[in-house]
Structure 1
Amino acid sequence: MSGLSAGTERAGGGKTSSAAGRIAQNGVFERFARGGFVMTGIVHLIVGYIAIRIALGGSGGNADQSGAMAELVSKPGGVIVMWIGVFAFLLMGLWRIAEAVFGSASKPEADNKKKEAFHRVKAFSLAVIYFSFALSAFGFARGSGKSSSQQSAGITGRLMQNTAGKVALVVAGLIIIGIGGYHVYKGISRKFLKDLDGNTGDLVRRLGMAGYLAKGLAVAAIGLLVILAVGHAEPGKAAGLDGALKTLGAQPYGVILLVVAGLGIITYGLYSFVMARYARM
């Protein structure tokens, strides 16, 4: 963890970054937190596989987080893997909370308040995502998992019952599109390399670029569908990643587009394994 030590020193001995460093350097904590990247990779691999399967006319399923988890627990040993995922996602969320509260030990921004604020907000947002993954994984591990696409449509339907809810949905859709755009920018500009500790080869750079580009476009599509759902008063359109991919598959040349999207999501899953090994913590 030389990168972490260097990051703590660059912080000028600041209490917040050193506190984050002590948390992340706990051996058990770090291993399970890195396991969150592994589980994220597995989920993306399965989502990409489901998308390609749908495109080629195979059996259905939800091409999203819940569909991937349902697919996983149906396999031998899948429930055990899911329980491991619960703890991995939970500790990854706690690590991100530590970054949000104490600041990043590996990427301190003590001399730039705007960047520091951005990184803290980003860390908190990622913590919320990982906690939601942990909650979803907990449900599937217990045998009571629910479809995230149906939940998204249900929440959208309730919010669309009044003007304030519709405004909130449009704002949320724009934010989601912005997040997708940031992923695309991060991939094209290779900014993701700053998240890694150590030398990276051409394969890692290509995986990162393709993975972030595919993930960004998929996320942006989700935001667009949320806005379209409000405009057409059809909450069913806001069905998350599953809805975005299936809408893509319904377009002209949809089979090709869905296969390409599936391969892109698989690429992001492979890059998540790189993050499990090289991510700065």
Structure 2
Amino acid sequence: MAHTGHGDRLASAAEKAADSQGFERAARVGYVASGVLHLLIGVIALQIASGSGGSADSSGAVAALAAQPGGLILLWICFLGCLALALFQASRVWLDGRGLQGKDAWKVRGSAATQAITYGAIGVSFGTVALGGGTDSGESSAGWSAKLMAQPAGAVLLGLVGLGIVVVGGYFIFKGATGRFRKDLSAIPAGTWDRAVTITGTLGFVAKGVSLAILGILVMVAAFTAAPEKSTGLDGALHALREQPFGGLALGAVGAGMICYGLYTGILRARFAKL
């Protein structure tokens, strides 16, 4: 009984924290930070499409933000916002799964856990640079791919990772094309806000899905050819797209879509997300 009472008190405390207005506002800042990150990735992708240089991934985007006036302050704000959002999603793993069983419970908890990890990773990107460190996602991606390849059945495992990324990319495309992203939002006022959600959400999710699918394919190629250096992260995936016939146009479209995703996440989802 004492154990049950202690658990109930913990659940009540967690629920109160998740429902607090201050915590909710901090979590919404996490969406703004994610939006800024994707917006910058989209801008860099457009630069690459036009023949300029740049690193179109989280490390390149965070470095670009750090170079702006007041960049260090912005990095810390983004870090704290992502941390709050990651903690909020982590609390959902427990709170939203109560009363559910079987597949429904796994679905809710799996979604919340995935988002907690995602926003936690984005926060780490901001925090690492804010502390004076640097990251190269291409090198780190090739590094962990090489380590995985060195394990027993490593090529198979790496291939499955790539396949999983392709599946996630396909889900993003599906979510954008069908408008299912609207389920993540509360009621949206008709008119300008509604049109903005439709346009940025549709184009943004499809573009992010395409970029993830290309990334997953490169990981699978690295596995099948036993060449982990071909797993070069998002920046490598977008550069690979640039090298294809009509790649500049295709990458430009993906870059514009990533900007749309950044606007959707950083403005619209930050305002209308169900929290």
User: Shared fold (TM-score greater than 0.5)?
Assistant: yes
**CA contact under 8 A between 2:188 and 2:272: conserved in structure 1?**
no
3-state DSSP of counterpart to 1:252:
coil
Partner Cα distance (2:188, 2:127) in 1: 36
Aligned to 1:5: none
After TM superposition, the structure 1 = structure 2 runs for residues 55-204 of structure 1, keeping only pairs within 5 Å, are 55-58=49-52, 60-103=53-96, 110=99, 113-200=102-189, 201-204=194-197
Aligned to 2:28: 34
Would you say how many aligned residue pairs link Structure 1 and Structure 2?
Answer: 263
- Cα separation, partners in 2 of 1:205 and 1:19, compared to 1, 3 Å: farther
- Structure 1 residues without counterparts, runs of 5 or longer: 1-13
Aligned to 1:45: 39
Q: Deviations over 1:154-185 (max 9, x none)?
A: 11112112342222211111111111111111
Partner Cα distance (1:26, 1:190) in 2: 30
**CA contact under 8 A between 2:155 and 2:224: conserved in structure 1?**
no
3-state DSSP of counterpart to 1:90:
helix
- Cα separation, partners in 2 of 1:167 and 1:26, compared to 1, 3 Å: same
Q: Percent identity?
A: 39
Residue 80 of structure 1 aligns with an amino acid whose one-letter code is I
**CA contact under 8 A between 1:16 and 1:102: conserved in structure 2?**
no
Following superposition, which runs of at least 4 residues in structure 1 exceed 6 angstroms of deviation?
14-20
Partner Cα distance (1:237, 1:80) in 2: 35
Q: Deviations over 1:129-175 (max 9, x none)?
A: 11111222111001212111211111111211234222221111111
**CA contact under 8 A between 1:16 and 1:103: conserved in structure 2?**
no
- Structure 2 residues without counterparts, runs of 5 or longer: 1-7
- Cα separation, partners in 2 of 1:262 and 1:18, compared to 1, 3 Å: farther
* Of 239, 242, 252, the match for 1:246: 239
Partner Cα distance (2:134, 2:81) in 1: 18
Residue 198 of structure 1 aligns with an amino acid whose one-letter code is A
**CA contact under 8 A between 2:175 and 2:181: conserved in structure 1?**
yes
**CA contact under 8 A between 1:36 and 1:89: conserved in structure 2?**
yes
Aligned to 2:3: none
Question: How far apart are 1:206 and its partner, in Å?
Answer: 1.9
Residue 73 of structure 2 aligns with an amino acid whose one-letter code is I
Aligned to 1:6: none
Q: Deviations over 1:225-260 (max 9, x none)?
A: 100011122212211111110000000011111111
After TM superposition, the structure 1 = structure 2 runs for residues 195-214 of structure 1, keeping only pairs within 5 Å, are 195-200=184-189, 201-214=194-207
Residue 240 of structure 2 aligns with an amino acid whose one-letter code is T
Residue 177 of structure 2 aligns with an amino acid whose one-letter code is I
Partner Cα distance (1:16, 1:173) in 2: 39
Question: How far apart are 1:70 and its partner, in Å?
Answer: 0.6
Question: How far apart are 1:125 and its partner, in Å?
Answer: 1.4
Question: How far apart are 1:84 and its partner, in Å?
Answer: 0.7
Partner Cα distance (2:102, 2:9) in 1: 16
